[in-house]
Each structure stands twice: as structure tokens, then as C-alpha cells.
Structure 1
Amino acid sequence: MLKKVTVDQLRLGMHIHEFCGSWMDHPFWSESFKIDTPQLLREVQSCGVREVWIDTAKGLDVEASAPTREEIAARVEDELMHIEAPPAPAPTIRRPVLLAEEVRRAAKICAQGKEQVISMFQEVRMGKAIDHAAAGALVDEISASVMRNPGALISLARLRSADDYTYMHSVAVCALMVALARVLELDEATTREVGMAGLLHDLGKALTPPGVLNKPGKLTDEEFVIMKRHPVDGHRLLVEGGAAGEIPRDVCLHHHEKIDGSGYPEGLSGEAISLFAKMGAVCDVYDAITSNRPYKAGWEPSESIRRMAEWKGHFDERIFHAFVRSIGIYPVGSLVRLSSGRLGVVIEQSPQSLLTPKVKVFFSTKSQTYLAPEVVDLSRQPTEKIVGREEAAKWGIRDVSRFWAQD
């Protein structure tokens, strides 16, 4: 049966019988073919033709069931894989230090950061102003670590316990904001303010009742209303304190706004949301969904990137793509399977391509045995590539972090 549909209704598995309009209006040699790859679907939807005839006898019908997760995942992966990596650093820029070397320094910064954020929250609860000089010094320490090796502190902060989430979240978002600012090529002074914004963005949670803030389960509607006050509370605290700049105040108030206007507290949309608040939204969500919480385990880093890419209307697309460039499609700590059948953990991104990071391989899926750890630079191994993400539990692997956080 032939049926006319708009190109927005097309999906994988449909069979195009004919394009509506002249053959000169589209770039395809044939007008009859099955949409069998995400790239082909994207090409049809962007070719300029708005309607086509599909043959439901040869492919899926528009009335058929919704796309499977596999179809959605394939489409999102295909979109992400076409994000260009940032240019290689200029020769004058010092080469990043090794991950394991920076992990040791980053561990001390994380411990120091946790204590300072706890102190900051306690001061706010007692009605005192935060120590802005101490906060600035911590931002400088975090920024320096990110400059040396962005994967170390960002990945290490993600490993904190569920009980440490509220405090370490501020440290992690600070690091993510600095890494994103680098990709966006913001100047040094602005990058420092962006880092400060990440550190202070959840300050209002110091005034959230502990029973709501630390509840090990889903919030009720009434509790969620209370939780949603923290951006306004935090903004008020920063304004009253007088030391925070415009960028931290803005990010504190607006990091829960969404591009489609469905966020809070003001329901801003599109360009009404500042660049810095858009940055805060992406960094805040990424750290939240990759973190272990009392009521759920965090998602694996690369799975989190894939899911965030599905949330249309949530993030600014340009900022999200820059964020992906800053941490990778497969962020440091991601467990991946290579075409050889070996499993490995990503330890460093490649300046050449988001798809060719350095991977420390340590497990064979064929023999289901551990291997002597070996670092494989996929940018120099054309015969080896990542073919998918893996769940450690599937292979009985525990504590994957030991493979990327150690020499």
C-alpha cells in the first residue's frame, strides 16, 4: 500500500516508493529504496523534499509501533559521530601530563574541595557569608588540574560515594565548566568566572531541608516544589554576599532552564538563556546522571552522553556538541569493546577524532580471561576500532576505575 508522508515521519525500516516533486529536487539516483541506515535517513530528511510516498508492503508503516531503543541509539550515535573534534593544540601549549600522574594530584584536590564545599554550606546555614577568596583558590586548583589533564579530576570526582553527592557535585561541575570553557575558547578571566559558577551553582541547596535534599527515593510533588527553590535561594545568597560576579549569579539562578522553555524557575527559552547558563545546564545534568545516588546507580559516561543527545529541547545544541568535544563520545573511564574482541577502558581522548581515544585493554571476551594491561592508541591502529560500550557487570568485572586510575 502506498502512503504519502512528510519526511519528519520517516524512520528506519521504511521503504520510499517515490519522492514528491521533480527528480531534480533531490540528490538520489533512485527514487525507490529502503531506509536502512541512520545516515541515509538523515540525508533524506535534509535533502529539501518535504513529502514522499512510502510502500508499506515493502517496509514499515507510519502507523507502526514506535522506534526501538536500538534504532534510536543508532541514530543518536550516528549524529554524535559526526561532531568534529577540536583542533590539535598548538605546539607552544604544554602537552598534558599522564592521566595516572594527574589522578594523584586530583585526588587531593577532590578531598580538599569536598571539605571546602561542606564548610561553605555550613557557613550559609549559620547565616554567614561564604569565604569567596577560599572559593577562588579552589577554582584555581581545579582549573590547573583540568589544564594538565581534563580526564583525571572529572572522572575521579564521579567515583565519590552516594553520600558525598551534594558536595562533590559542586567540585565536578566546576571542573566540567572549565573543560567546556576551553573548548569554547573563552578567555582566562571568563573561564575562571565560569569555574566559580560551577562551584557555586547549587549553593541554594544549603537552605533545602535535609529530609528533602537527602531523601533516598522519588520526591513528592510538594517536596519537588521545595527542591525547585534552590536556584532562587542560591541567587539571593550570592547577591546578598556581594562578592560573586554576574556569571556565577546568572548560572546559579538559571542552570535548570531548558531551551524549549519547560525549565525553572523562570521558564526561559532559547536565546533568553545566557551562554553561561546553557553551559551550566549541560554540566549539571551530566554529572548528576553519571553519579551514584542513594536511590539509583549512575549511568555509565558514554551511555549518559547518548541519552542526553536524545533529550530534544533540553540543551542548546551548539553547547552540547562542544561539551561532547570536551569530554569525548567515550569519556575517560568508559568501558568499551574493540573490534578484536578485547575490552578496555578509555584513558585519554584523541585530538584527531572523537572515535579514536587511547584505551587500556585488559580483558578478552573470546576467552573471558584477563589480559596483561596494554595501552592502545586507536588513532594509530587503523585495524582496531571501538564497536560498542559494555557493562562491567556483564563480564563479572569489578572496579573498572583501577585500570584507568593507575599506572
Structure 2
Amino acid sequence: MIKKIPTRELRIGMYVQEFCGSWMDHPFWRARFKIRTPAELQRIVSGGVSELWIDTAKGLDVETPAEATVDRAAVDAEIERQLEHAATMPAPLGLFDTQDEDPFEAAAALVRRSVPQIARMFNEARMGQAVDLGASAQMVDEISSSVADNPGALISVVRLKNHDEYTYMHSMAVGALMVALGRQMGLSPNLLKRAAMAGLLHDLGKAKVPLAILNKPGKLTDAEFALVKQHPVLGHGMLQGIAGAGPVVLDVCLHHHEKFDGSGYPHGLAGEKISMLAKMGAVCDVYDAITSVRPYNKGWDPGEALRRMAQWRGHFDPDVFQAFVRTVGIYPVGSLLRLHSGLLAVVVQQNPAQPMAPKVKVFYSPRARKRIEPYELDLASAFVEDKVLGCESPEDWGFTDLDRLWGAPAP
């Protein structure tokens, strides 16, 4: 039986069916789960959600008076113990790097080192040679370290792609996004490495697709698109039997174009028939593709991309997509925002502790209808009264240089 209850009546053993209000108001990346520990119970109670729906067929019901003899002092003590333990655990996402080196420049340097290695793997595949994954192990470690130090830097830098290296930088971007999303979802260190490798190799099958088609600036013909759609199967075939390409890499390569509603390819899998890692790959692949800056395609603003993806019902697993939004942030670096003051600003740094209050660079006054001298504003500061009113579309304003404003390194 599905029933709505106040949060104060929650107890361990209940099955949460749905949170009332926005999913961003609760601290869990999943919307449905059974409460198994005092720590989980405490996170909901202290998370600001006043009501939620439970399924009594999958978990406990509201306690009766006869059941209300539980030793509350013992439960409270256990909650405190769990909270103290949780306080010593690392956060799922890395905090922003405090080192002197500029994080965006460091990320750009990593991209410059890695792209030739990725290109070499694709060229080996293109020539029918066995792909050597040995060099990619260090690359995976460096990507993981970069994401841990500053999740926004590498993810933002790899959005900027040139014509000739798009496929290779896209592979790196998906690898970085897989690591960031995996950290948010609590994947083990070993599984994070496999997720990163899967991201790097998910499009390896495109090595068998003619470059003229891959780099075509206009819309593909039906025949060309049919050829491109073969790349998951082609890549899977190339990776089979290669040392270092385990089940996770093979699965993501083959199924990253499957959709939650079964309308994807190559096998039309749906729902739970798609693995969790392949669902992650699907979200990461689409996000980078639609936000990528290319010579003939500006790409969507990161915030606009998330809004569009949220409207594509059935494409993505809802829980994975919600976790992804938490990963890249409500306002990713590069997003165009309107502030309560009326001024326009671009996000230059996220704030994991206060996602709604990023650091921004103010640069335009709609009232004066002109640009102003850019200045940075930390919306989380107690001395700053301005705050975010909403997102804006750069295309609507004719802005083409937001990447320069947020500090994108020169190619």
C-alpha cells in the first residue's frame, strides 16, 4: 500500500517510494529505497523534507502504539555514532583544489598530454591492430586525480574541442564525467577506474567509421547515420579479447546508446536490462555531446543542456540522471545566470557546500543594455546580498565569448 506520511513518523525498515517536492530537496541520489541504517534515517529527517510516500508492501508501516516501546535513547545513540563516523569519511565529490596552480590550466595540460594517447589507440583500431591499453592506465589515474581535486575544471576544459580532435576529446570527457558521476554514486575505487576506462573507450568503434562522416558539419543522411549507429557493435568486437578490457568496458561500449524506455540501440534494451554503468555512460555521452564547443556547433550552455535532458522523458534512468545533476551541479561552470539585481553573470566556480550559490563573473547590465567591466562575485559570501534568479540562454543574448569569461585556457 502506498501512503503519505510526515517525516517524523519514519523509521528504519520503511520503504521510501517517493519524496514530496523537488528531488533536489532531499540528500539521496535514489528516489526509491529501503531505510536500513540510522544514518540514512537521520539524513532524511534533517534534510528538510516534511512529507514523503512509503510502500508498506515493501517495508514497514507506521508504528502502532504497541510498537512504540523501542529504546529511543539507544537509537539516538546509534544515530550519533553513525554521524560521527560519517563525518570522518571523505566526501563523494572532491573539494576544490587549494594549490597555487590554476586548476583550469592544469586540466588543459592533462588534456594536451592525453589526447595523443587516445588518438594512438583509435589509430591502432582503425588500422586493424590490437589496441594497447597499457598506456591508458596512467591516463585513468590522472583523470581520476584531476576530478578528485577539482571536478569542474577538467569537465569544463574538455568541452572545448577542435575539429580534428573532437572524437578523442569526447572520449576523455566521458571518462572524466564517468569518474565524477561514479564518485557521486559511491562506486568503489576499482570500479571507478573501470568506469573511467569505459568512458575512454566507449566510442572506439567510431575508428571504423569514415572520418568524412564523423567530421561532417551538416546533418547526416539516413545511410550515413545507419553506419554511425554500428559503432557500439564494432567497438565491442574490437575490444573482445584485449587485455585490460573487462566486462564493464565491453558493456559500456556496446550499450551506451540504449535508452531507459527501450528506444535506443543496438539491442533496444529497457529499464533494468541496461546495466548501471551503461546507464551512466548514456548520460555522460549525451551531456558532453550537446555541450561541446565545436567550430561549426557552439553547443548548449551547460545549464541549458541539463534542462533539455530533463525534458527527454524515457531517455535516461531517472535516478542516474538525478545523480548526474548533483555531479555537475545545478549551475555548471560556464552557465549564464540572471541575478536578482538584474545583472547577467557566468559561473566561474561551483560551490559544493552551497550549490545554489556559485562564484560568478558579472559582465552585463540588461537595464543599460551594454557590457560592464567584469568582476567576480562569490554568492555564498555573507557580505554579498545578490543571488541567482535563474538561467539564461547565451543564444538569446548573442553571447559568444562566455568560455573566455569563465577562464577557459587558450587551445
Is contact 2:379–2:386 with CA below 8 Å preserved after alignment? Answer: no
Is contact 2:160–2:294 with CA below 8 Å preserved after alignment? Answer: no
Deviations 1:343-378 (A, max 9, x none): 222123333443222223233333333234123233
Is contact 2:19–2:26 with CA below 8 Å preserved after alignment? Answer: no
* CA spacing shift, 1:165–1:211, aligned 2, 3 Å: same
- Code of the aligned partner of 1:371: E
- Code of the aligned partner of 2:262: G
Alignment of 1:123-138 (within 5 A): 123-138=124-139
Question: CA–CA distance in 1 between the matches of 2:28 and 2:130?
Answer: 42
* CA spacing shift, 1:294–1:350, aligned 2, 3 Å: closer
What SS is found at the alignment partner of 2:137?
Answer: helix
Question: CA–CA distance in 2 between the matches of 1:152 and 1:254?
Answer: 28
Alignment of 1:262-301 (within 5 A): 262-293=263-294, 296-301=297-302
Question: CA–CA distance in 2 between the matches of 1:90 and 1:121?
Answer: 44
What SS is found at the alignment partner of 2:120?
Answer: helix
Is contact 2:115–2:168 with CA below 8 Å preserved after alignment? Answer: yes
Deviations 1:85-110 (A, max 9, x none): 88999567584215972111101111
- CA shift at 1:163, angstroms? 3.6
Match of 2:390 in 1: 388
Match of 2:96 in 1: 96
* CA spacing shift, 1:243–1:122, aligned 2, 3 Å: same
Residue-pair matches, total: 336
Name structure 1 gaps, 5 residues minimum: 1-24, 28-45, 49-77
Deviations 1:364-407 (A, max 9, x none): 33333323412323374684221122344655654222332279
Higher relative contact order by CA 8 Å / sep ≥ 6: 1 or 2? 1
- Code of the aligned partner of 2:216: K
Match of 2:377 in 1: 375
Match of 2:71 in 1: none
Match of 1:41 in 2: none
* CA spacing shift, 1:193–1:380, aligned 2, 3 Å: farther
Question: CA–CA distance in 1 between the matches of 2:340 and 2:391?
Answer: 12
Question: CA–CA distance in 2 between the matches of 1:161 and 1:80?
Answer: 36
* CA spacing shift, 1:405–1:292, aligned 2, 3 Å: closer
Is contact 1:353–1:379 with CA below 8 Å preserved after alignment? Answer: no
Match of 1:200 in 2: 201
- Code of the aligned partner of 1:384: D
Is contact 2:155–2:177 with CA below 8 Å preserved after alignment? Answer: yes
Question: CA–CA distance in 1 between the matches of 2:105 and 2:88?
Answer: 26
Match of 2:75 in 1: none
* CA spacing shift, 1:203–1:406, aligned 2, 3 Å: closer
Match of 2:407 in 1: 405
Name structure 2 gaps, 5 residues minimum: 6-17, 30-42, 48-85
Alignment of 1:151-166 (within 5 A): 151-166=152-167
* CA spacing shift, 1:298–1:79, aligned 2, 3 Å: farther
What SS is found at the alignment partner of 1:378?
Answer: coil
* CA spacing shift, 1:344–1:227, aligned 2, 3 Å: same
Question: CA–CA distance in 2 between the matches of 1:154 and 1:334?
Answer: 13
* CA spacing shift, 1:290–1:185, aligned 2, 3 Å: same
What SS is found at the alignment partner of 1:133?
Answer: coil
TM-score, normalization by structure 1: 0.75
TM-score, normalization by structure 2: 0.74
- CA shift at 1:176, angstroms? 0.4
What SS is found at the alignment partner of 2:265?
Answer: coil
Q: Please state if 1:323 is matched with 2:324.
A: yes
Question: CA–CA distance in 2 between the matches of 1:379 and 1:396?
Answer: 30
**Matched residues, percent identical?**
51
Question: CA–CA distance in 1 between the matches of 2:408 and 2:240?
Answer: 43
Is contact 1:83–1:321 with CA below 8 Å preserved after alignment? Answer: no
Question: CA–CA distance in 2 between the matches of 1:183 and 1:326?
Answer: 6
Match of 1:139 in 2: 140
Match of 1:174 in 2: 175
User: Higher mean Cα deviation, 363-372 or 328-337?
Assistant: 363-372
* CA spacing shift, 1:107–1:274, aligned 2, 3 Å: same
